[in-house]
Amino acid sequence: MKKSKISLLMALTILAFSSCNKEDDTTVDDYTGTASVTQGFATTTTTNLYSNGGRVAGLGTITADDNTTWTVPADVNYTNSAIPFATDLYNPDGTKHTTVSAALTAFDANDIIEIDAAGDVITAYIFADNYFEMYVNGVAIGKDAIPFTGFNSHIVKFRVSAPYTIAMLLVDWEENLGLGSEANQGVDYHPGDGGMVAVFKDESNNIVATTGSEWKSQTYYTSPISDLACPTESGTTRSSSSCSTDGVSDGSNYYGLHWIIPSDWNQESFDDSDWPSASTYTNTTIGVDNKQSYTNFTDIFDDSSDDAEFIWSTNVILDNEVIVRYTVQ
């Protein structure tokens, strides 16, 4: 009798353990979406883009189940000298402005990007976690000076005539290339998070645009995914809201989802009308209250009359490569 009870208890324990770890048994056949699916680590192609960073900002390539090859966390222009680095608003390894007025005084007029000679000069203030590249009507305006950490912010200026379209590539970097994760909170595979906020002002210091739900947003790389049955798609909305965001001690066998970025995504003529609206997030969710690159400039980012909101795709944790767009009328 005693032996039977012990055997029954062991069987129930094994069954419970198997149920709690069903993601370990997931396969590509469980996925029903439109992405290319990768699994495991990418092959490192660039060891570190930024040697002064608090974390290693590497690049890698990985081959999907459909034999397509992808760059992770994103195919960026960080080393492309044709695209300028944006001017520092606050850079822990560069210029550390304490006020917006100081940054404006120091701004070099030669760094104004001209799109329309007869246009107005627009000033943009940007905080991105972790990395951005900005285009206006397809013209490169600036890119982030630090791809991963520490956290920094930027000021850019461009001359343009309205209407004009702002398009930005946003990247949440990763230490575990291909697995959308980093060592954090006591585990080796913990998903990071993204978030970008920006304010645009005209020559009279009037706000002409702020980031919010009126922007469009689309995700092109989601990871880590432990269970391929959890992502869903509805129209053009790619959702991973039902997927786990827990950090784990070993996520080396997890998956990534990849979609092809349209070649003309940064052009004014690109049709984003069927894209989802950008999702918005609070300062607390993004975690900026202890970052001087943000808190020094709350008079800009948190203007009481027109508060800019952090934006991203539908999942600020698992979506790692996102494009956002907005047309200023």
| pTM for this predicted structure | 0.92
Better pLDDT: 109 or 25? 109
What phi and psi values does residue 97 have, to the nearest 5 degrees?
Answer: -70, 145
Q: What is the pLDDT of residues 18-47, one digit of tens each?
A: 333 444 578 999 999 999 999 999 999 999
- Is residue 221 a contact partner of residue 38, using CB atoms and an 8 Å limit? no
Average pLDDT of the chain?
93
Q: What is the pLDDT of residues 224-261, one digit of tens each?
A: 999 999 999 999 999 999 999 999 999 999 999 999 99
Q: Is the bond leading into 92 cis (omega within 30 degrees of zero)?
A: no
What phi and psi values does residue 183 have, to the nearest 5 degrees?
Answer: -75, 120
Domain spans, the chain: 31-328
Examine the pLDDT at 13 and tell me if it is beyond 70: no
CA neighbours closer than 13 Å in the CB half-sphere of residue 247: 15
Examine the pLDDT at 7 and tell me if it is beyond 70: no
Residues 154-189: b if buried by 16+ CB within 10 A, e if exposed: bbbbbbbeeebbbbbbbbbbbbbbbbbbbeeeeebb
Token output for 249: 């001690």
C-alpha 73 chain-centroid distance: 9
Q: What is the pLDDT of residues 152-203, one digit of tens each?
A: 999 999 999 999 999 999 999 999 999 999 999 999 999 999 999 999 999 9
Q: Can you give the pLDDT at residue 21?
A: 42
